[in-house]
Structure 1
Amino acid sequence: MLVKRDIDAFVAADWPSVADDFDEEAFFGVDAGKQPNPDAWRLGFPDLETYRREWLRQAKEFGQTNFAEDARAAIFDATRLNDIEIDGNRAIARKKFDGRIKRADGAEDRLLWQTLYYCVRKEGRWKICGFTGYLPNPMGAVS
């Protein structure tokens, strides 16, 4: 759910295909703003509806961009999810982005951040109950 389904849904701006991946009642998201200092992080997504609106805004903007390459493939190439810590019905998944997507105008979009997803197993399946996202990748020293 955190890689293939997420990327496919984002590229298609198809929120309904990922909506059930979230624990709506428990969900919240922290926006680190690519800042290493936690003092700068904000409760950017106090509920799932706020996150859904921003996710759709970004997905629609992405879909209107003319790329010089297969953007979906470039996102997959930039994405790593190598570390998931599970303890009972809770998990932390560490998803990292490091790559580029070439635009048709010669510019490029830099994908360089990481997200910690907090998940819970409910009724036999994993759901996202929160995240700390837009973290620097790699994390720098706190100043």
Structure 2
Amino acid sequence: MTVDDQIRDVLITRDIDGFVAGDFELVRSDFDESQFTAYSGADGSMRLTYPDLEGYRADWLAQAETFRDVDPAVLTAQLHAVQRIARLEVSGTQALATKIFDGEVDTPVGPTILAWTTYYFLRAHESEHRWLITGFVGYLPSTWSTS
């Protein structure tokens, strides 16, 4: 598996599988828990929203819960259709991935639009030959430049 494929597996495939199952333990090992911190631009200003992985885990699970009554196969297909890695930059053991959310998914109360950009920071865990998420800057408006 190429580096690009490994990172896409972590940021899209595994994330979607865990999210649809509502099971954070399926993705916990994809994070560098001791280094993790994340910021959100969801309300128009940048905030240190997740100073640790447990805070992010709680929010991730709450978000997953809102989709609990959607058919898992449908939700999985829709989430794959609305997410893509627009840019991936790798330098040695560090990586920056730009993930775009752009499209509509079903919720129990009707469709909702996912439209934002998230920048993920990753590092190679050399002894395990895998990539770990060390943090992100996310929920930026979909008009945010990705070039």
TM bucket by the smaller chain? 0.7 to 0.9
Is 2:52 the partner of 1:43?
A: no
What is the match of residue 24 of structure 2?
15
Give how far 1:104 is off.
Answer: 6.0
Q: Where in structure 2 are the equivalents of 1:106-125 lying within 5 Å?
A: 107-122=110-125, 123=127, 124-125=129-130
User: Using the alignment, how far apart are the partners of 1:34 and 1:8 within structure 2?
Assistant: 27
Give how far 1:63 is off.
Answer: 1.1
Give how far 1:15 is off.
Answer: 0.8
What is the match of residue 90 of structure 2?
86
Identity fraction in percent: 38
Give how far 1:82 is off.
Answer: 3.2
User: Using the alignment, how far apart are the partners of 1:89 and 1:82 within structure 2?
Assistant: 20
Alignment RMSD, CA only?
1.8
User: Using the alignment, how far apart are the partners of 1:51 and 1:101 within structure 2?
Assistant: 22
Is 2:33 the partner of 1:29?
A: no
Aligned residues: 133
Is 2:66 the partner of 1:57?
A: no
Give how far 1:57 is off.
Answer: 1.0
Query: Which has the higher mean CA deviation after the structures are superposed, 20-29 or 73-82?
Result: 73-82
Is 2:77 the partner of 1:73?
A: yes
Give how far 1:138 is off.
Answer: 1.8
Q: List gaps (5 residues or longer) in structure 1.
A: none
Question: Which of 12, 31, 39 does residue 3 from structure 1 map onto?
Answer: 12
Q: 1:125 to 1:102 in 2, by over 3 A?
A: closer
Q: List gaps (5 residues or longer) in structure 2.
A: 1-9
1:34–1:113 CA contact under 8 A, matched in 2: no
Give how far 1:103 is off.
Answer: 4.7
- When normalised by structure 2's length, the TM-score is 0.83
- When normalised by structure 1's length, the TM-score is 0.86
Give how far 1:87 is off.
Answer: 0.4
What is the match of residue 3 of structure 2?
none
Give how far 1:43 is off.
Answer: 0.3
User: Using the alignment, how far apart are the partners of 2:11 and 2:60 within structure 1?
Assistant: 14
Instruction: Spell out, residue by residue over 1:31-51, the C-alpha distance to the aligned partner (whole angstroms, 9 max, x if none).
Output: 11152xxxx110000000111
